[in-house]
Chain A
Amino acid sequence: MTGIKDVANELKMSTATVSRALRGLPGVSASTRERVQQTARALGYVPSPSAARLASGQTNTVAVVVPWVTRWFFASVLQGAEEVLREHGYDLLLYNLAGSADARHRVFEAGRLTKRVDAVLVLSLQPTEAELARLEALGCPVTFVGANVPDWATVRIDDEQAARTATDHLIELGHRRIGYVGGPGVLDFTAPNAREAGYRSSLARAGLPHDASLEVDGAFTVTGGIEAGTRLLERPDRPTGVFAASDEMAIGVLQAARQLELRVPEDVSVLGIDDHELASFFDLTTVAQPVLEQGRLAARQVLDALGASGTEQWWQPAQVILPTRLLQRGSTGPPPS
């Protein structure tokens, strides 16, 4: 039976490189990966999941790193991932960072994951170079959810496009003065920056001026949204439309409007991104993203990489981008004349 050594000998490469190429780990160029796969196929080499796992010390455990488990998006991704992992007999090790730099350091850089897990899912964090180096050193499949990390497996939406969809909706309704509630949050995320960029690019394409004072930090929470919404809406020259980069912040903006006795959408239009479970309760227009599905797909990606899902395909770190769609409800309408 053909072993990995035979493939390596044929290609005059190290078995480590062949192994990395076949497991879809980074650090191998696409052309090398393709050559390794061709040769492996030609020689009839079949990677044995059990052997691979024996070699790496199988734990049947997948770590999931979550910035804030109480936020709807993360809890829903977690739910989706857990369903798939459980179905395949994997346990889920949860690391909830909750804004703690210590917790983040502990999980990524203090060796917490070494030999403890077979794969890692990272939700919405933008990893530093040092963190990527540590993740790579783990030598196990890693998938990022809701973050754009080039060369690594990711499952996400196009955040910039989602923000453009939201902003364009307000522009099409006739709004010319549009506020943005976003914010960097405490940790470094992909989504806030990309959504802000989408908002700005929509304004620019519509020939609307960029006014930095209309961009307010809502910390991606309901209370942050209330504060940000109050700041925007108590101005004499308040915007007629507000786009919040998450539904939780948009719900906060709705609350701020109510406290200021502004009618929605007659006096001010509000929309978010997500389709939060309570978005329909608040009659909130939003750009819906498939959230459970992102968790499920991310879990499937790492299971495919581990050969645990019975897939016969060669696994490659894929960039999966899921579609979003505008869900028009009652919180948006034409601007007051």
Chain B
Amino acid sequence: MGSDTGMPLGSANMADVAREAGVSIATVSRALRGVPGVSQATRDRIVRIAHELSYVISPEASALSKGSTGRVAIVMPHLDAWFYSAMLASMAPVLRAADLDMLVYQVEGQEQRAAFLRGLPARRKADAVIITALPMAQAEVERLDLMGVHVVVAGGSIRDHPHVQVDDLEAGRLAVSHLVDLGHRRIGMIRTSDTDGTTWSSDLLRVRAWRETLAGAGLDACEELLVTESYGVGAGGRAMGRLLALPDPPTAVFAYSDELAFAAMAHARSSGLRVPEDVSVVGMDGHPLGEQVGVTTVDQDVAGQGRLAAEMAVRLLAGEQVRDLDVPVRLVQRGSSGPATA
């Protein structure tokens, strides 16, 4: 974590400046080193705060970003869902090639996030943290800066931290437009509530895509068609059950993830409905079993996102510049979506 080496003992460090300025350490670093990507107004403000706090960037400090622990911490809400293990698997070889080890933290729910951030267990244990699809509350985001390490965000974005993500708005539109094009007029959406008390860009944007695409087609995105279940085994089944129990059930459903889509399809079938004849389902991810299940999905190249996020962390540690990356998505049409019949 070298951002505070090379400074006189007791003086402010880059994390202090970042906190005071309400920006990430990466932004402070960029601003003070005069590299592009920071507006003049922000740069001026950071320089002023750094001056007030007597923070002095030293040449050694700039060079220091190489890091000292040889580790990168990966923080994610679950380990046993495919999305997260695919992220881990694609990050591992990149970090190994850079001779970095990988610490893994599973942080689920508000309480665990608070404990993680309170203890800042990654502090001095890692040179960089990759926040992977982990929703955080505003106050929690501010605490990230206290870690005094580089922060990279994978599978979404958090404030101004460097990130790798897909365009979730575009991904959601692809899925919902596909169903609209098939003639569906009542299209539901299934999501899980592991974003308790927080906002998560992917979640907000996919829901927004669902609303906007329906509105754009002159269809009603009424609240009863947006179903939220708490994360866990059976969430997709319960959500589908609620949609099918509506007086006027949807003929098509967009699920936040492929795993939710699998469970939704299984529930529909066990309720005696045919997929896609009676109800169409579209997921999102590109899960490796999607082919076997026959689910139409929006492939978000999870392995690509993980690899790029790890490369981003390695580059930051080498003192290089990084820029935010959007990974392209594509619709993969399989058997779970078909024309509306009703």
Listed in ascending order, the chain A residues whose CB lies under 8 Å from chain B are: 61, 68-70, 72, 74-76, 78-79, 82-83, 86, 89, 91-96, 98, 100, 103, 106, 112, 116, 222, 251-252, 254-255, 277-278, 280-282, 292
The answer on a CB contact under 8 Å between B293 and A79 is no
The answer on a CB contact under 8 Å between B103 and A94 is yes
Which residues of A lie under 8 Å from residue B112 when comparing CB positions? 86
| Closest residue on chain A to residue B292 by CB atoms | A255
The answer on a CB contact under 8 Å between A78 and B96 is no
The docked-state distance in angstroms from the alpha carbon of A281 to that of B336 is 14
The answer on a CB contact under 8 Å between A94 and B85 is no
| Closest residue on chain A to residue B287 by CB atoms | A278
One of A79, A112, A282 near B106 (C-beta < 8 A) = A79
Q: How far is the CB of A185 from chain B (nearest CB, A)?
A: 16
| Closest residue on chain B to residue A83 by CB atoms | B106
Pick the most buried of A75, A89, A100, A254: most chain B CB atoms within 10 A of its CB.
A75
23 example contacts (A-B, Cβ-Cβ < 8 A) are as follows: A70-B86, A70-B88, A70-B288, A75-B79, A75-B80, A75-B81, A78-B80, A82-B79, A82-B104, A82-B106, A83-B106, A89-B119, A91-B121, A92-B103, A92-B104, A93-B101, A95-B101, A95-B102, A96-B102, A116-B101, A222-B292, A252-B292, A281-B266
Q: How far is the CB of A329 from chain B (nearest CB, A)?
A: 12
**A96-B89 contact in complex given A79-B106, A91-B103, C-beta closer than 8 Å:** yes
The answer on a CB contact under 8 Å between B289 and A251 is yes
**A94-B104 contact in complex given A69-B85, A278-B262, A280-B266, C-beta closer than 8 Å:** yes
The answer on a CB contact under 8 Å between B92 and A98 is yes
The reply to whether the CB of B233 lies closer than 8 angstroms to some CB of chain A is: yes
In the A-B complex, the 4 residue pairs with the closest CB atoms = A79-B80, A75-B85, A96-B92, A79-B79
The answer on a CB contact under 8 Å between A98 and B293 is no
| Closest residue on chain B to residue A291 by CB atoms | B80
A-contacting residues, B250-285, CB 8 Å: 259, 262-263, 265-266
Listed in ascending order, the chain B residues whose CB lies under 8 Å from chain A are: 71, 74, 78-82, 84-86, 88-89, 92-93, 96, 101-106, 112, 119, 121, 125, 233, 259, 262-263, 265-266, 288-289, 291-293
Which residues of B lie under 8 Å from residue A92 when comparing CB positions? 103-105
Q: A70-B86, A91-B125, A100-B93 are in contact. List 13 more A-B contacts (CB 8 A).
A: A70-B82, A75-B81, A75-B85, A78-B80, A82-B79, A83-B106, A86-B105, A93-B103, A96-B88, A96-B102, A222-B289, A252-B292, A281-B293
**A281-B262 contact in complex given A83-B106, A93-B101, A96-B88, C-beta closer than 8 Å:** yes
The docked-state distance in angstroms from the alpha carbon of A76 to that of B125 is 25
Which residues of B lie under 8 Å from residue A79 when comparing CB positions? 78-80, 106
One of A83, A94, A280 near B102 (C-beta < 8 A) = A94
Which residues of B lie under 8 Å from residue A89 when comparing CB positions? 119, 121
The docked-state distance in angstroms from the alpha carbon of A104 to that of B82 is 23
Q: How far is the CB of A197 from chain B (nearest CB, A)?
A: 29
| Closest residue on chain B to residue A277 by CB atoms | B233
Pick the most buried of B71, B106, B262, B292: most chain A CB atoms within 10 A of its CB.
B292
The docked-state distance in angstroms from the alpha carbon of A252 to that of B291 is 10
Q: How far is the CB of B171 from chain A (nearest CB, A)?
A: 22
Q: How far is the CB of B200 from chain A (nearest CB, A)?
A: 21
Which residues of B lie under 8 Å from residue A106 when comparing CB positions? 96
**A103-B96 contact in complex given A75-B85, A91-B105, C-beta closer than 8 Å:** yes
Q: How far is the CB of B273 from chain A (nearest CB, A)?
A: 15
The answer on a CB contact under 8 Å between B80 and A281 is no
**A93-B102 contact in complex given A222-B292, A251-B292, C-beta closer than 8 Å:** yes
Which residues of A lie under 8 Å from residue B263 when comparing CB positions? 281
The docked-state distance in angstroms from the alpha carbon of A328 to that of B234 is 20
Which residues of A lie under 8 Å from residue B80 when comparing CB positions? 72, 75-76, 78-79, 292
The docked-state distance in angstroms from the alpha carbon of A104 to that of B81 is 25
The docked-state distance in angstroms from the alpha carbon of A91 to that of B73 is 10
Which residues of A lie under 8 Å from residue B102 when comparing CB positions? 93-96
| Closest residue on chain A to residue B303 by CB atoms | A70
Which residues of A lie under 8 Å from residue B289 when comparing CB positions? 222, 251, 278
The docked-state distance in angstroms from the alpha carbon of A89 to that of B120 is 11
Which residues of A lie under 8 Å from residue B292 when comparing CB positions? 222, 251-252, 254-255, 282
Pick the most buried of A70, A79, A98, A280: most chain B CB atoms within 10 A of its CB.
A70
The docked-state distance in angstroms from the alpha carbon of A96 to that of B105 is 15
The docked-state distance in angstroms from the alpha carbon of A93 to that of B100 is 11
**A86-B92 contact in complex given A70-B82, A75-B85, A91-B125, C-beta closer than 8 Å:** no
Q: How far is the CB of B7 from chain A (nearest CB, A)?
A: 27
**A94-B233 contact in complex given A75-B80, A82-B79, A83-B106, C-beta closer than 8 Å:** no
Which residues of A lie under 8 Å from residue B92 when comparing CB positions? 69, 94, 96, 98
The docked-state distance in angstroms from the alpha carbon of A98 to that of B104 is 17
| Closest residue on chain A to residue B91 by CB atoms | A96
Q: How far is the CB of B277 from chain A (nearest CB, A)?
A: 18
